Amino acid sequence: GATQSVQGSEFVQRATIGNMFEIQSSQLAVRQSENEAVRRFAQRMLDDHTDVGEDLRRAAPNAAPPRQL
């Protein structure tokens, strides 16, 4: 199969968009779920993906990733 090369800035863009989706969907689950286990898991996802976003910004400070979906 063909392998597609992804440039560093494109990777940061894609990773940031995916990460933002995870954060926003987790925020929704924390706010609206009536299931405590779901809320706990969503909070853990929110915490983890917030950390990932900070790591991405530190790793590629000049990449100018998107700020919102």
pLDDT in tens, 1-58: 555 666 878 888 899 999 999 999 999 999 999 999 999 999 999 999 999 999 988 8
Instruction: Check residue 31 and give its pLDDT.
Output: 98
Contacts (Cβ under 8 Å, ≥6 apart) of 69: 17, 20, 21, 24
The interaxial angle of helices 36-59 and 8-32, nearest 10 deg, is: 160
Instruction: Check residue 3 and give its pLDDT.
Output: 57
Q: Sign of torsion, CA 43 15 20 65?
A: positive
Instruction: Check residue 29 and give its pLDDT.
Output: 98
pTM more than 0.85: no
